[in-house]
Amino acid sequence: MPELPEVETVMRGLRERLEGRVIVRAMTHRPDLRWPLPENLQTRLTGARVTGFRRRGKYILMRLAGGDSVLLHLGMSGRIVLTPLRPNQPTPHEHMVLETDDGCRLGFVDPRRFGSVDLVPTRAEERHRLLAGLGPEPLDGGFTAAVLSAALAGKRTPIKAALLDQKVVAGLGNIYVCEALYRARLSPQRSAHTIPGARAERLVPAIKDTLHEAIEAGGSSLRDYVRPDGELGYFQHAWKVYSREAEPCDRCPGRPACPGVRRITQSGRSTFYCPRTQR
Ligand SMILES: [Zn+2]
């Protein structure tokens, strides 16, 4: 499932290729994904100039000259594929196609259909029902130790679960929460209410650095954020603890006492951490 760094990389790829272009043709191949598509989607997109992009949490907003924004969410399995224009042969699970005035074809592919596409007035983006409840953007300057401390005060859930709550901070998922807690040397099982203060001062930069590194890895491993097959924004990233059960973490080699990365289940999902250095 794409998390914030992957979505950011997809957004940058879209910006690179589509900003300033006119959508000359828009097609949808079914009436709904996770939710119904707007009935007027094809008409509203056809002829519109793309003026810019932004990301909010795991959502991408594509702004159009007429005052609409297209809200895209990749869900569990959504992908965006950019190719040169070709005779229209929809690929399997391709639910939306946009063609631009410079001969680019954008396909939104989503086999499991947990993704979504919606329209929202650009001036009211933040009031869209999917965005209105989101917490702060982790990479914004406004996401500070004080802000995180306030959000966690009195919470008795494990810090792992608290960070997955999109109201606490937007865009984090299972992988990067594990990685950020490792970097901050905090146990994923620690109660969230013990984080405010000095531990939040460690955790906030750990979250930002983890995300920045992953975004940079995406940018440097993909040409213009696009894979050779045209798919945007997915990349191989070396995780420090995620999916590394029983391996020594990179803080522990040569330490006989190190039991290796441990995997536990929290809220039905795998957590990976180093029991020696995360407390
Ligand atoms: Zn270790």
- Among 75-89, 96-110, 112-126, 157-171, which is the least confidently predicted range? 75-89
16 CA from centroid of ligand 1 (Å): 40
Cβ pair 37, 31 in contact under 8 A: yes
Residue 115's pLDDT band (boundaries 50, 70, 90)?
very high
- For the cut 90, the answer to whether the pLDDT of residue 44 exceeds it is yes
- Among 117-121, 160-164, 191-195, 236-240, which is the least confidently predicted range? 236-240
> Looking at residue 244, what is its pLDDT?
93
> Looking at residue 88, what is its pLDDT?
64
185 CA from centroid of ligand 1 (Å): 10
277 CA from centroid of ligand 1 (Å): 6
Catalytic-residue membership of 105: no
Cβ pair 162, 152 in contact under 8 A: yes
What residues flank ion ligand 1 with Cβ within 5 A? 249, 251-252, 274, 276
Read off the pLDDT of residues 98-108 as tens digits, 9 standing for 90 and up. 999 999 999 99
Cβ atoms within 10 Å of 39's Cβ, excluding its own: 10
3, 8, 94, 179: the active-site residue? 3
Catalytic-residue membership of 39: no
Catalytic-residue membership of 58: yes
To the nearest whole number, what is the mean pLDDT of the chain?
Answer: 93
163 CA from centroid of ligand 1 (Å): 22
- For the cut 70, the answer to whether the pLDDT of residue 257 exceeds it is no
Position with higher pLDDT, 237 vs 92: 92
What is the sign, positive or negative, of the torsion defined by CA atoms of 177, 179, 184, 188? positive
> Looking at residue 121, what is its pLDDT?
98
> Looking at residue 237, what is its pLDDT?
75
How many angstroms separate the most distant Cα atoms in the chain? 65
- Among 119-128, 145-154, 201-210, 221-230, which is the least confidently predicted range? 221-230
Q: What is the pTM assigned to this prediction? A: 0.93
> Looking at residue 23, what is its pLDDT?
98
Q: Return all residues near 223 (Cβ < 8 A) that are at least 6 apart.
A: none
31 CA from centroid of ligand 1 (Å): 49
Range ranked top by mean pLDDT from 149-158, 247-256, 258-267: 149-158
Helix 198-221, helix 174-183: angle, nearest 10: 120
| β-strands 116-121, 68-73 pairing | antiparallel
Catalytic-residue membership of 3: yes
183 CA from centroid of ligand 1 (Å): 11
